[in-house]
Structure 1
Amino acid sequence: MQLRTKITAIFILLTGLFQVAVFVFIYHFSKSYTESEFYLRLSQRATIAAHTYLEDNEMNINIYEDIRERHLQTLPNEREAIYPVSKRTNKEDNHMDKSLPNSFFQEIFDKQYAELKQEKFYYTGLLYNDNEGDFIVILSAQDFYGEGKLENLRNILILAFFLSMIFISLLGQYHAKQALSPISKMIKKVNTIRATNLHLRIEVGAGKDELVELAHTFNNMLDRLEVSFDLQSNFINNASHELRNPLTAILVQTEIGLNKDRTIKEYHSILGGIEKEALRLDTLVNGLLKLAQMDFDKKGIVIEPIRIDETVIEIKKILDTTNPENNIYLDFNHLPEDECLLVFLGSQNLLKVALNNILENACKFSENQKVTLKILADTNNIKIIITDKGIGIPPEELKNIFEPFYRGSNALGTNGFGFGLPLAYRIIKLHSGEIRVSSQIDKGTIVKVSLPNQKKYTSF
C-alpha cells in the first residue's frame, strides 16, 4: 500500500470515527430531550385530568373536555385511567392494568410519580390524594410527532455522514498528494543520480520541517558518497602508481643484471637495489592489506578490557626499541582517581597499531623533538592528546590527511607511503571513537583521540 493511500485511509478513518461519535451524541440527547418533553406533556395532562375528574364537578369535566378539544390537541392513542387504592399491595387487588409491571406501580407509591415506556406507548402515573382517598392516575399515549422528528434527524445524520465521507475522501487524497509531493520530487531526483553524476543534489526548501531535514540528510549522504567515490578512485590510481614504481625498478635492475656477465660486486649492487625495492614493495603491500582488513566486518577481532595507560607504556617501549632517538614524554598528571575510567573494550593489538602510527608520525615529522602524550578520562570518554613541534600540516590539506597515500605538500621529502593516519583513523572508528587533528605550519600538530570507556561502551 502506498504511503499516500495509508495517510488518506487513516485521515478518513479518524474523521469518520469522530463524526460518528458526534452524531451519536446529537441523536442520543435529541432523543432524551424529545422523550422528556413528551413525558412532561403527559404528566401535565394527568394532573389536569386528576383535578377535573376527582373533584366530582360536572362543570369541571365539561371545561376540561372543552379545553382539551380546543387547546390541548388529543395525543395519538391517548388513554386515561384512574384507580382508587385503599392499600399498597399488588395491582390485582385494585383492578389495575395488568399489562403494566408491578415496579411501575411500586414507584408511584414510593415517589408519587413514575414514567414508563412499553413498546411504542409512553406512560405517566401519579398518586393523587383526595378527601375520598388515594387514587392512581395513569395517562398513556404514543409520540408519533417526536418519533417522526427523531427519524428525520437520524436520516439527516446518516446522509450527512456519507456525504461528508465522500468529501473527506477527496479532500484527504488531495491533502496527501500535496503533503507527499516534495517526497515524490525527491524520489525522482534521487533516481536520476548515478555514479557518473554524484555532484547533483536535491533541492532544499526554505522551511524547517521534516522534509527539509530529509533533503539535507540525502544531500549529506550524497556528499559522503561523492567523497568515497573520489577517495576510491584516487586510492586505485595511487596504489597502481606506488606498486608500479618498485616493480619497474626491480624489472629494470633484473634486466640489467641478465643483460651480460658482470662482476660479483656489480651483482651484489644489483641485488641490493632489488632487495631495497622488494622491501619497499613488501611494506606497501602490508599497508594495503591492513587497510583492507579495516574494511571487513569485526569477526575474528579479539575484544578485551584495555587499560589505556598500560597500553601507552607498552607502545613507548616498542618505540624506544625501533627509534631509540625518540623524545616522547608521557604525561600522567591528569589521570583520574577511579582506575575504571581508564578501561575500555576493544582490540589491544589494533589500538597499539593506531597509536604507534600516530606517535611515529609525530617523531618523524618533528625530527625527534619533544612529543607529549597526555591522557584524560571522565565518566564518558578516554581522551588521548598527542602534541608535537614538527613541520605541521597546511590548513587546506587537513581534510585529506585520512585518505590513503595522501602526503602533505611539505612532507614529500620524508620517507613513507601515507598509510599511518588512514589506518589509525579506521581503527579508532572501529572502536566507536573519534580522532581530530589540528596543526600549524612550523609550529606543530595536535592529535586528539577520544574513546568510550567501559562504563559507557556497551557494544563493539
Structure 2
Amino acid sequence: MKIRNRFTLISSFTFSVVFVIASVITYYSFYSYSEKIIYNELQKTCLLTGIFYLEKDELPENQHLLIGQQFRENSLEIITRVYNNKNQIVYGDKTIDNNINAERLDYIRKNRKLSFKSKHHFYFGSYYHDNQGDFVVFVKKNDVEFKTMTDRLQIIMIMVLIIGLITIYIVSRVLSNLAYSPIKNIIDQVNEIKASSLDRQIVSPNSKDDIQELVETYNNLFKRLSDTFIIQKNFINYVSHEFKTPLTAISGNLEVFAQKDRSSAEYKEMSEKVLENVYQIEDTMNTLMMLSGLRDNTELNEIFRVDELVWDINDQLPEIYDLKNAPIQIVLEVVNDKLLSIKGNPNEIKIALYNIIENAVKYSNGNPIKISLLEQHNQLKIVIEDRGTGISEDDLIFIKQTFYRGKNVKDIKGSGVGLSLANIIFKQNNIDFSIASKKDEGTTVTLLFPRL
C-alpha cells in the first residue's frame, strides 16, 4: 500500500472514530437532557394536580380558580390520577393503569417520588400529604412528541455523519496528496538519474523538515557514489596508462635479449631489470587500487603521531634521491604535544605525505626543502616549501587532477597520479590540503589536520 493511501485511510479512520464518538455523545446528551426536561414538567404538573384536587377545601375560591387554570394548561395531553392510602383512584382518570401497581405506590410513600418510562409513556409520581389523608399523585405523558424529536435528530446526525465521513475522506485524500507531492517529486528525480548522471543533485523546496534532510542525505550519497563510480570506471585507463611504460620496457628488453645467446652475467642483469619493472608494476597496482577505492585498509581510525611519519619519510628519501647538497630541513614548532597525534589511516596518510614531499624534492632544482610543523588555532599545521621550478598559474588549476602534469616538468619522471591520490586521501581523512606556487620561484603545500 502506498504511503499516501495509508495516510488517507489512517487519517480518515481516526477522524471518523472521533466524529462518531462526538456524534454519539451529542445524541445521548440531548436524549438524557430532553428526558430530564420532561420529568421536570411532569413534576410541576404532579404538584399542581395535588393542589387542584386536594386543596380545594382550604384555598379561597379565586386562588383555586387560578390554580385550576394553570392545571388545565399544564395537563394538556397528560393523564393525572390521585391514589389514596388504599391504592384506590379518588381523583383524575379512573382507568386502571397496569404500570402503576401497589409496589410502586408503596415505593413513593417511602421515598416521596418516582419517575420511570414505559414503552410509550413517561410517568412521574409523588407523595402528597393533606388534611384529608396521605395520597399519591401520578401523572403520565405520551412519548410520541419525544420520539419524533429524537428520531428526527437521529436522522439528521446520521446524514451529517455520512456527509462528514465523505468530507473527511476527500480532505484526507487532498492533504495526503499535498504531503506526498515532495516525495513523489523526489522519486521522479531519482528515477531520472542514470549511471552517467550520478552527480546530478535532487532539487526540492527548502522546507527545513524531514524531507529536506532526506534530500540532502540522498545528494551526499549520490555525490559519494558518483566520485567512486568515476574513479572505478577509469580504473582500466589508469592501469593502461601506468603499465604501458614498464611493460614496454620488459617486452623490449626480452626481445633484444632473445636475439642471441647470453652469458650468466647478462642473464642476471636482465633478471634484475625485469624484476625492477615487475616491482614497479606491483607498486603502481597497489596505488591505483587505493586510488580507485578497490582496496580498503582496516586501520581506518588509528591514533598515531604525524611527526613520526614525517621523520620516516625523511629517512627513506635519501635512499632514492641525492640530498647531500639539498637536505630536508624539519622545523618543529608545536608547543602542545597532543596536536601531533591524530586519528585516521596512517598508511594512507604516509603515502600522501610521501608523494607531497617527494614532489618537493624532485622539483626543487637541488635547493633545500623545508618542512614546518606548526600550531594554528589549536590545530596541527604542516607547511612543505621548496624553491624549485614552481607551477604556472594555468597549471595550478588542474594540478590535482589524475595524470595531469605541468608543462615545465621537463624530463623529470612522474605519472601525474601522486597529487591526485594525495588529494583523495586527505579528503577522506578530513585534512585541509592547499597548494600555492609561482613559476620558477617554488611551491608551498599547506596541510591543516583536524583536532583529535
Specify if TM > 0.5. yes
The Cα of 1:23 is off from its aligned counterpart by 1.3
For 1:400 and 1:26, the matched residues in 2 are separated by: 79
The Cα of 1:395 is off from its aligned counterpart by 9.9
- State the match for 1:117 in structure 2: 116
Contact 1:385 1:449 (C-alpha < 8 Å) held by counterparts: yes
The Cα of 1:424 is off from its aligned counterpart by 8.2
**1:280-334 Cα shifts (integer Å, max 9, x gaps):** 2232123245557x64677xx4789x554xx335434523431354333344412
For 2:55 and 2:392, the matched residues in 1 are separated by: 119
* Correspondence list, 1:185-224, <5 A: 185-196=185-196, 198=198, 204=204, 218=218, 221-224=221-224
The Cα of 1:125 is off from its aligned counterpart by 4.8
Task: Please state whether the residue corresponding to 2:229 is helix, strand or coil.
Answer: helix
* Correspondence list, 1:117-136, <5 A: 117-120=116-119, 121-126=121-126, 128=128
For 1:6 and 1:396, the matched residues in 2 are separated by: 58
Matched, 1:435 2:431: yes
* Correspondence list, 1:45-444, <5 A: 45-57=45-57, 67-69=70-72, 72-75=75-78, 78-81=79-82, 97-99=102-104, 102=107, 108=112, 116-120=115-119, 121-126=121-126, 128=128, 137-196=137-196, 198=198, 204=204, 218=218, 221-260=221-260, 273-290=273-290, 295=294, 301=298, 307-308=303-304, 311-312=305-306, 314-323=308-317, 325-335=327-337, 351-367=345-361, 369-374=369-374, 384-390=380-386, 401=400, 405-407=402-404, 409=406, 413=412, 415=414, 418-419=417-418, 422=421, 425=424, 429=428, 433-442=429-438, 444=444
Partner amino acid for 1:318? D
Q: 1:356 to 1:3 in 2, by over 3 A?
A: same
Q: Is there any run of 5+ residues in structure 2 with no aligned partner, and where?
A: 87-99, 319-326, 362-367
Q: 1:315 to 1:447 in 2, by over 3 A?
A: same
**1:28-47 Cα shifts (integer Å, max 9, x gaps):** 33123212221221121122
**1:152-185 Cα shifts (integer Å, max 9, x gaps):** 2122212221233234334433443454345445
- State the match for 1:37 in structure 2: 37
Identity %: 22
The Cα of 1:435 is off from its aligned counterpart by 2.4
For 1:105 and 1:427, the matched residues in 2 are separated by: 101
**1:57-88 Cα shifts (integer Å, max 9, x gaps):** 3967776566555564223xx34445669xxx
Task: Please state whether the residue corresponding to 1:434 is helix, strand or coil.
Answer: coil
For 2:84 and 2:395, the matched residues in 1 are separated by: 110
Which has the higher mean CA deviation after the structures are superposed, 20-29 or 150-159? 20-29
TM-score norm. by structure 2 comes to 0.71
Contact 1:384 1:449 (C-alpha < 8 Å) held by counterparts: yes
Contact 1:291 1:423 (C-alpha < 8 Å) held by counterparts: no
Partner amino acid for 2:336? H
Partner amino acid for 1:327? Q
- State the match for 1:22 in structure 2: 22
Contact 1:425 1:435 (C-alpha < 8 Å) held by counterparts: no
- State the match for 1:2 in structure 2: 2
Q: 1:219 to 1:150 in 2, by over 3 A?
A: same
Q: 1:5 to 1:34 in 2, by over 3 A?
A: same
RMSD of the alignment, in Å? 4.5
Partner amino acid for 1:328? I
**1:186-227 Cα shifts (integer Å, max 9, x gaps):** 434433433245576656458666656655655555444444
Task: Please state whether the residue corresponding to 1:450 is helix, strand or coil.
Answer: coil
Q: 1:409 to 1:198 in 2, by over 3 A?
A: same
Contact 1:393 1:408 (C-alpha < 8 Å) held by counterparts: no
Task: Please state whether the residue corresponding to 1:389 is helix, strand or coil.
Answer: strand
Contact 1:122 1:140 (C-alpha < 8 Å) held by counterparts: yes
For 2:177 and 2:303, the matched residues in 1 are separated by: 57
Contact 2:399 2:406 (C-alpha < 8 Å) held by counterparts: no
Task: Please state whether the residue corresponding to 2:450 is helix, strand or coil.
Answer: strand
For 1:129 and 1:105, the matched residues in 2 are separated by: 10
Which has the higher mean CA deviation after the structures are superposed, 277-286 or 32-41? 277-286
Contact 1:250 1:274 (C-alpha < 8 Å) held by counterparts: yes
Partner amino acid for 1:373? L
For 2:138 and 2:392, the matched residues in 1 are separated by: 107
For 1:355 and 1:343, the matched residues in 2 are separated by: 11
Q: 1:234 to 1:297 in 2, by over 3 A?
A: closer
- State the match for 1:91 in structure 2: none
Contact 2:201 2:219 (C-alpha < 8 Å) held by counterparts: yes
TM-score norm. by structure 1 comes to 0.70
Which has the higher mean CA deviation after the structures are superposed, 168-177 or 150-159? 168-177
Which has the higher mean CA deviation after the structures are superposed, 159-168 or 263-272? 263-272
**1:3-58 Cα shifts (integer Å, max 9, x gaps):** 22112102211221231133123213312321222122112112212222231339
Task: Please state whether the residue corresponding to 1:327 is helix, strand or coil.
Answer: strand
Partner amino acid for 1:117? F
For 1:331 and 1:287, the matched residues in 2 are separated by: 32
For 1:43 and 1:400, the matched residues in 2 are separated by: 103
Contact 1:123 1:138 (C-alpha < 8 Å) held by counterparts: yes
Q: Is there any run of 5+ residues in structure 1 with no aligned partner, and where?
A: 86-94, 109-113, 454-460
Q: 1:446 to 1:106 in 2, by over 3 A?
A: farther
For 1:11 and 1:177, the matched residues in 2 are separated by: 13
Q: 1:192 to 1:363 in 2, by over 3 A?
A: closer
Partner amino acid for 2:77? T
Partner amino acid for 2:76? Q
